[in-house]
Structure 1
């Protein structure tokens, strides 16, 4: 076997016989897109779509500059610098086949934590026409129940007093937009690529709320000039493992310190509402529609909620991965029952979509044995996910008299998970959640107050006042605390 080669621009010619590499001249790229939150998903999704467009010989003025606003982004910044901003995307098929491709659509990366000015300047540059974001549900600084902006955040308070020293995405956006306005430049589009219903509308509301306090004249300009298209994004992207890095080196001859793995499936549905132009993404499979709402809701309430159903029930049972859950017939049957009886009835008809086919495809994707998406990853930041993915479905089914029993058991499992931090065998569970302390404090009161966990109004709204829900929840949570054999209760509900 030949010696693996370091992934760098100068080595692409030597690598091209082993895997696809960029065939376009990356040095010619203008930066047209600034992206905040360059995680695995962005690199498997928007950056991948742009790569496909560049390979067609188009979009040379739409290169991506990544932005890191967290200290944790320094690792990727350093790796990108060493690798000339190149990385490998490893598509993992259910039959075990791995298709790697070197992606070159990201051409720069700047850290805003240590020095905000270069980031503001890049966003304010005339060539920048889109600022896109993947900062997870928790990054938008709003109350998940009320939907209102959180002005109590210390970083937000700092930005209100010091508009030229931004710390959050809102501070950077307003600083850059103010500079564009002062320089007579058109506004950029703000394109959200996170799993939030009506994500563009939400981002517009949050940014305007912030700007109206920080700089009212700028808020007026933003309201008139900036477009916030809603979008629905989809591609399962597990955390990269040391085994992935080793496989890439041994089987494909590429030394890449941070490749990205993903499934073959990819989808992007976007409203065609842009401030200042966009790439011709429709040429590589992106669907542009007048209203993305029905597609967003379908994906959030079936795929994302389905992931959380498997994750929270699976982690208590002791399944390590989503595909391991899907090898368990009880979990497969339970998930499909949740989808059919609780999620589907609130979706209505969606143009161009056969919901039964979509659900069949989801089950196949979840079962992909080559992805091995950990249940811990799926359960992380549940406080930001569940209000939108699952709890909203419970509220809607209560209003219509629909079934809520399958989702309610998941909430009871989340309580036990937050309290005990262990599975049914007593093995510790790694919990990662910005509200982890609050969740634990509420959950640990369950033995004396069965409804303590769901009294958190910021997450559950008024569910604690609904007799039908509280009856089901109390029964479920008491059963789990007596015996955390979650499969027993799953079977009883089916």
Structure 2
């Protein structure tokens, strides 16, 4: 197990601050890979300036019991290995002071921690489905089993929104000031999504509670960016070698690039993360749309078309010149025109940097990992851009190809007739539609009937239907590689 005492002297990137003086002012819900390589790392960098004492209490509600158990055994220290194309660097992160898990410590301990006046920020990385909101962001899904359970027994919440609402209810009753609720998830206007989930749930419990939260709590939007593949045994073996034989089961590898843009809208004090590379702004949306469409949209495009072709990793796709050429065309010709970015942002430079990042051979970012939960990712990554092009009478054919590739992917078989295991919140509905339709145009039309994903406008747009159908039939008869090769000529 990792400790500062057993590290080789060659590991110089380690906490240079007194960890006994750290104060846990942040509760973070969702102690996963991305958070360890992003927000916790920014907090560690700030601690290393010796101008901050902010630290984090990590919380997992469902899953991750072993991770919490392991991190406790090594005094909440862990390794972040930044892997570039030609070099790598290990950092020992010490910004975590304590940790809680619902199944280990009980949900009551977590709620009481969040209700503690010392906590000024509750942050979250819980993925899209953790917010329990309806597809398209139209409100809280009151039929979600977790939300139904939370309304039946609010003192014992099972969802992240339920946890936040119950903690705020206790702060209100005790006369304790609210915290800032800070979403760090990769969804559009994530602060507004969190606010919607929390306020809607509070209203269903007690309208006066909802009024208090609305008046006393802020929900800043953020844009987070760093490619952090899920940890693998190979990653951990590599970290062990770099640490001179010291094992770190909590270690994570990521790319060197990191970005965090935060709406400066805190009801509490906040860490000066901008001193170590983050950026506080008045409006996050331009940065968020740039990242969601150019990076994440391109990632989804490559994930589905790559997986179908048998490419296991994103960098495998980028070794195929046809894939590399077409994804750059997608970024610059069909995603970039939909954006309204600040004057200092150069989208050509941003796209070139993305190609470099996607091509990094040191990062084994699995296409199957990115392909998960497509029903929740497609609307903001692809479909919003398509709607812009329809409105402006411009070309969206490559964006339509991404939709067709997703449809092929959820068919459950790749171009080599290998089975695909679908992981999606709407999995059962997708499987039913696929099972009850003939492959081809009929299946496209069946899937387009999913109002929660496509709304009523896109299925009724003939140009959209024609593009998606034509691409689908090409993928069905020629496969992903040949379809892309043909489009490049």
Q: What is the DSSP-based 3-state SS (H/G/I as helix, E as strand, rest coil) of the residue aligned with 2:119?
A: coil
Aligned pair partner of 1:31 in 3, 24, 27: 24
Who is 2:483 aligned against?
489
Q: What is the DSSP-based 3-state SS (H/G/I as helix, E as strand, rest coil) of the residue aligned with 1:391?
A: helix
- 1:367 and 2:362 matched: no
Query: TM-score, length-normalised on structure 2?
Result: 0.95
Contact 1:188 1:226 in 2 (8 A): yes
- 1:43 and 2:36 matched: yes
Who is 1:476 aligned against?
471
- 1:426 and 2:417 matched: yes
Between 305-314 and 107-116, the greater mean CA deviation after superposition: 107-116
Contact 1:8 1:82 in 2 (8 A): no
Contact 1:77 1:109 in 2 (8 A): yes
Contact 1:406 1:493 in 2 (8 A): no
- 1:56 and 2:60 matched: no
Contact 1:322 1:372 in 2 (8 A): yes
Who is 2:452 aligned against?
458
Q: What is the DSSP-based 3-state SS (H/G/I as helix, E as strand, rest coil) of the residue aligned with 1:32?
A: strand
- 1:22 and 2:22 matched: no
- 1:297 and 2:292 matched: no
In 1: Cα distance, 2:262 partner to 2:137 partner: 26
Aligned pair partner of 1:330 in 322, 326, 336: 322
Contact 2:290 2:341 in 1 (8 A): no
In 2: Cα distance, 1:330 partner to 1:17 partner: 42
1:493 is displaced (CA, Å) by 2.9
1:385 is displaced (CA, Å) by 1.1
Aligned pair partner of 2:110 in 105, 119, 126: 119
Q: How does 1:98-247 map to 2 (within 5 A)?
A: 98-113=88-103, 115-145=106-136, 147-247=138-238
- 1:377 and 2:372 matched: no
The alpha-carbon distance between structure 1 residues 267 and 449, as it changes in their structure 2 partners (threshold 3 A), is closer
Q: What is the DSSP-based 3-state SS (H/G/I as helix, E as strand, rest coil) of the residue aligned with 1:239?
A: coil
Q: What is the DSSP-based 3-state SS (H/G/I as helix, E as strand, rest coil) of the residue aligned with 2:382?
A: helix
Between 264-273 and 468-477, the greater mean CA deviation after superposition: 468-477
Contact 1:32 1:63 in 2 (8 A): yes
Contact 1:94 1:370 in 2 (8 A): yes
| 1:235-265 deviation digits (Å, cap 9, x = unpaired) | 0001111112112222322210121111000
1:190 is displaced (CA, Å) by 0.5
Contact 1:446 1:453 in 2 (8 A): no
The alpha-carbon distance between structure 1 residues 231 and 323, as it changes in their structure 2 partners (threshold 3 A), is same
| 1:197-226 deviation digits (Å, cap 9, x = unpaired) | 111122112211111111211111111110
1:449 is displaced (CA, Å) by 4.5
Contact 2:410 2:420 in 1 (8 A): no
In 2: Cα distance, 1:182 partner to 1:46 partner: 30
In 1: Cα distance, 2:273 partner to 2:211 partner: 30
Between 19-28 and 294-303, the greater mean CA deviation after superposition: 19-28
Equivalenced residue count is 482
In 1: Cα distance, 2:48 partner to 2:212 partner: 37
Aligned pair partner of 1:394 in 376, 386, 389: 386
In 2: Cα distance, 1:101 partner to 1:16 partner: 13
Aligned pair partner of 2:349 in 357, 360, 382: 357
1:422 is displaced (CA, Å) by 2.6
Q: What is the DSSP-based 3-state SS (H/G/I as helix, E as strand, rest coil) of the residue aligned with 1:255?
A: coil
In 1: Cα distance, 2:186 partner to 2:335 partner: 17
In 2: Cα distance, 1:390 partner to 1:347 partner: 13
Structure 2 runs not aligned, ≥5 long: none
Contact 1:19 1:252 in 2 (8 A): no
Q: What is the DSSP-based 3-state SS (H/G/I as helix, E as strand, rest coil) of the residue aligned with 1:311?
A: helix
Aligned pair partner of 1:405 in 375, 390, 397: 397
In 1: Cα distance, 2:253 partner to 2:137 partner: 36
